[in-house]
Amino acid sequence: MKVRDLDHELLPRVTQEDSSRQSAIVALRRLLNRHVRPHNIDHYEREGEPAFVARHGRKPQSPADVETALFASASYRRWSAVNRAVQEIIWLSVGEPIYRDQPRMRAAARRLADAPDRKGALHLDPDVIQPPGMADNDVHLQPGGYTMDRDADDIIAGSLYEAGGNVYSFGQGAGKADSKAGAVQRFLAEHHPDVRPARILEIGCSAGAASAAWAACWPEAEVHAIDVGAGMLRYAHARAEALGVPVIFHQMNGAHLTFPDGSFDLVISHNLLHEIGRGERKAMFREAARVARPGGLVIHQDIALRAQPSLVHAVEKRWDTRFNGEVYWTDYTDDDLVADMRAAGFDDGSLSEHDVPAIQGWGAWYILCGVRR
């Protein structure tokens, strides 16, 4: 199932002007990412590092030094200012039609969620434990954040996530056919071709695009998906119903799962690792291992950022930490995730790391895979 280039009832109705605005932002971001950002390392070498040396009498050594040196370059500062401005405009461009179309979208979500022939389910828990850095932070600058929940029909968080995510990803160079779930499904076909899961759990499902894709990939499987955001989950559930795929959504924290031991054949997360802190991630790894059955697979997929050729490249990629609400970006890029999986109960022979190419477009995805003994 496609996850980005599809039409469904929950998407906001956009005017030609809305579409033009979003297309212009995609074009602008593609230009920045392809033709401007790649020169940041040159700016560092030609402007930033010499300025740092002139001021401090030594070369930059620590990540903090490198960041200081980057900002000593006027060219880098200019890129940073433009990149931040464009990131903010993304949300205006998708938020305007979403807020304008709220009455219709909310009614559609309610009708789909309550339909007698609905295929999935939604279980909300207002007492869910919110992970630090999530409820009080606009991740990716999404206005209101991922856990926005203003009333019993609020679907804004999910709406913004899907629409904004598409504009962002296309601007990053993702093709319309790209799919994180598709990349993991291709990985499974290549490395674990005999896997036929009867029960699948997705942790941190956000707006449910991958959850629906998993349900479509294995229609005979029972797919459960969890997230901490009620607004995300209402949207994800209605979206799955609109697409006609059965997914059971739960408001639940991945570090505190309520499922019994060994209850899933496949446990997945998509782009969750860089959104949660070190302690939450280690607890989530333990919980994912606990609910996977012996012989089951645990796969955590994220952005392929961890292997960088130099400290300067690594620090340049950390721009999102300060400027894009990605407060745990560095924890994700720098920590020994294999060691954390080992501590969660996986042995060395069962663990593997991979950078796999995107299904379509530029870039790659990181996959961390463990087989439960």
Partner 1 sequence: MSNVDALMDVIASARGARPASLSCPEAEDGMTISIALLVELAVANDRIDRLERMVAELRGMTPEALRETAPTPAEAEERRDANEALIVRVLHILFDPRKRIDGPAERAGAPPA
Where do contacts with partner 1 occur on this chain (CB under 8 A)? 16-17, 20-21, 23-25, 27-28, 71, 77-78, 80-82, 84-86, 88-89, 91-93, 95-100, 102, 136-138, 141, 143-145, 148, 156, 322-323, 325
Torsion of CA 6, 219, 195, 271, to 10 degrees: 40
Q: DSSP for 116-178, please give it.
A: TT--SEEE--TTPPPPTTTTTS-GGG-TT-TT---STT--HHHHHHHHHHHHHHHHHTB-TT-
Q: Shortest CA distance to 335 belongs to which of 319, 312, 322, 353? A: 353
364 forms beta bridges with 357
- Cβ proximity to partner 1: between 78 and 278 the closer is 78
Nearer to partner 1, 99 or 218 (CB): 99
Q: How far is the CB of 145 from partner 1 (least distance, A)?
A: 7
- Rounded CA separation 360/357 (Å): 8
Gap between the Cα atoms of 37 and 173, Å rounded: 13
CB of 35 to partner 1, least distance (A): 15
**Residue 73 or 179 having the CB closest to partner 1:** 73
Instruction: In angstroms, give the least distance from the CB of 69 to partner 1.
Output: 15
Shortest distance, position 226 Cβ to partner 1, whole Å: 24
Q: Which is nearer to partner 1, 94 or 369 (CB)?
A: 94
Q: Which is nearer to partner 1, 95 or 165 (CB)?
A: 95
Region of 113 on the Ramachandran plot (φ > 0 left; ψ -120 to 50 alpha; else beta): alpha
CB of 296 to partner 1, least distance (A): 39
